Amino acid sequence: MIDESLRTELSKQGIFTLKLEELYNWSRKNSVWPLQFGLACCAIEMIATSMARYDLARFGAEVFRPSPRQADLMIVAGTVTKKMAPQVIRLYNQMPEPKYVIAMGACAISGGPFKQGYNVLKGIDRYIPVDVHIPGCPPRPEALLHAFMTLQKKIEEQSLTSEQRPRHLHADAPSEFPIPQYGAHDLEPPNNPDVWQPPVVTRTE
Amino acid sequence: METLEQFKTRIEATIPGARVEIIPNESPSAQRSLLIDAEHAVAVAKFLRDDPQLRFDYASNVTGVDWLDTVLKEKVKVKKVIDGAEKEVEETVEKKRPGYLETVYHLYSMELKHGPVIIRMRTGDRRDQVHLPSLTPIWRGCEFQEREIFDLYGIVFDGHPDLRRILMWEEFQDYPMRKDYVEPDDYEYEPTAHDEVLEKAKRHEGQGPAAP
């Protein structure tokens, strides 16, 4: 482990010393390429975020890829209907590791205003692991930028060797998640219990 | 534009056997409609579209209605002999009306700039006699709307060029807009539930696995 004062002194002379882990995470967090797809009105805000005014390019994420094979980040921007959910999960499965998910907006995190409907999935986190949830209907571009910075922080802090190392460095951690089938009344299964369990609600009444 | 009574007379005069009924509307809009029989529906629709005085060339909206089995209460004056004298007494008569499904078409004329005229068709019941003639051959724009009605209400349109589900998936078996539709019970997590949703959410409480 390098001494902190020596490190500061070296950096003043233009010599940077860092751990491989830091270099690896620094380069990863500054080139997160999102998958280019949108599901509803949140996608409009996502597009606005990527354009000149909000300029997602400042974070190295302006390269929206039209293929899951080239994407690192899935921004679930909009309502996930039950008919669309299997396709979203299939796209996620087709992305290479390491991969991250931002659930953008009320619909993607919980079903939003359509929560009590028969045809809308009550949050994409019922089937795939979500790294950052953003509330809002739709969230402002600033909120998406904040989510993006939160994700960058998360990537930066990932340790490569410890027990908390990210999923793609665990040999036995799943990289693909089961795709639900179209059932006679609902998706089957209605959620993936390995990914999502209903949180305990305590009512004060 | 002619009145609905004139429509009825002209339709019945032109198409032999066609039965047209005027459905009253007691709401403030008082927008009455024509109930046409399924058997002659295509002929009636063709007449409404092609008649030079009517020219309803545009079906702006097609929708469905689900009517459950109901008991209609009607007040009828009945003559009865009370204490030797004949008197007129008001009695409530209960009539059972079996349920049916209904389609509603809103028609306008682009050419003559009038409308809307609303026509309805009813099925025999809600279970096996759910066939109605498709009016897509008359108004091409009805295609997707009739498919949506088929998807959500389960009315089968005979003569439709491509009758498949449009919003739900093919394997889906229910008709979600029917009043007796039972939705999937996925109320296991409702953090801010109230009213009906609270009742549904409470059924799950204490069943779910504890949070890690």
Residue contact A118–B181, C-beta within 8 A: yes
Tokens of A7: 């490190």
- For A111, which residue in chain B has the nearest alpha carbon? B190
* Residue with more model confidence, B85 or B28: B28
Tokens of A126: 């019922």
Of A83, A116, A190, the CB nearest to B168: A83
CA distance A93 to B122: 47
* Residue with more model confidence, B83 or A87: A87
What is the per-residue pLDDT across A92-117, written as a single tens digit (0 to 9) for each? 999 998 899 999 999 999 999 998 88
* Residue with more model confidence, A92 or A62: A92
CA distance A203 to B193: 10
CA distance B206 to B202: 9
User: How far off is chain B from A127, nearest CA to CA, in Å?
Assistant: 14
What are the CA-CA distances from residue B171 to residues A88, B7, B105, B114, B164 (Å)?
19, 43, 28, 42, 11
User: How far off is chain A from B113, nearest CA to CA, in Å?
Assistant: 35
Cβ atoms within 10 Å of B50's Cβ, excluding its own: 12
Interface of B with A (CB under 8 A): 167-174, 176, 181, 183-184, 186, 188-191, 197, 201, 204-205, 208-212
- For B187, which residue in chain A has the nearest alpha carbon? A116
CA distance A81 to B172: 14
Residue contact A182–B170, C-beta within 8 A: yes
pLDDT for A117: 87
Bridge-based pairing of strands B156-158 and B131-133 is: parallel
Q: In what order do the strands lie in the sheet with B114-122?
A: B20-23, B33-36, B114-122, B100-109, B58-67
When pLDDT is cut at 50, 70 and 90, the band that residue A205 belongs to is: low
CA distance B147 to B135: 12
What is the per-residue pLDDT across A2-37, written as a single tens digit (0 to 9) for each? 788 998 999 999 998 888 888 999 999 999 999 999
Which residues 6+ apart lie within 8 Å of B159 measured at CB? B42, B133, B134, B136, B137
pLDDT for A168: 85
- Distance, first Cα to last Cα, chain B: 70
Give burial (CB, 10 Å; 0-12/13-18/19+) of B41.
Answer: buried
What is the per-residue pLDDT across A151-170, written as a single tens digit (0 to 9) for each? 999 999 888 888 888 888 88
Which residues 6+ apart lie within 8 Å of A148 measured at CB? A32, A56, A59, A61, A102
Considering only CB atoms, which chain B residues are within 8 Å of A185?
172-174, 184
- Which of B148, B186, B197 would you mutate first to test chain A, the one with the most A CBs within 10 A? B186
pTM: 0.85
Residue B83 has pLDDT above 90, yes or no: no
Considering only CB atoms, which chain A residues are within 8 Å of B201?
201
pLDDT for B206: 66
Give the pLDDT mean for A130-141. Answer: 94
pLDDT for B75: 80
A102 in helix, strand or coil? strand
pLDDT for B207: 62
What is the per-residue pLDDT across B170-210, written as a single tens digit (0 to 9) for each? 999 999 999 999 988 888 888 888 888 888 888 887 665 54
What is the per-residue pLDDT across B131-143, written as a single tens digit (0 to 9) for each? 999 999 999 999 9
Tokens of B188: 């296991």
B117 in helix, strand or coil? strand
When pLDDT is cut at 50, 70 and 90, the band that residue B211 belongs to is: very low
- Which of B166, B167, B175, B189 would you mutate first to test chain A, the one with the most A CBs within 10 A? B189
What is the per-residue pLDDT across A37-58, written as a single tens digit (0 to 9) for each? 999 999 999 999 999 999 999 9
Average pLDDT of chain B to the nearest whole number:
88
Do A93 and A86 meet the contact criterion of CB atoms below 8 Å apart?
no
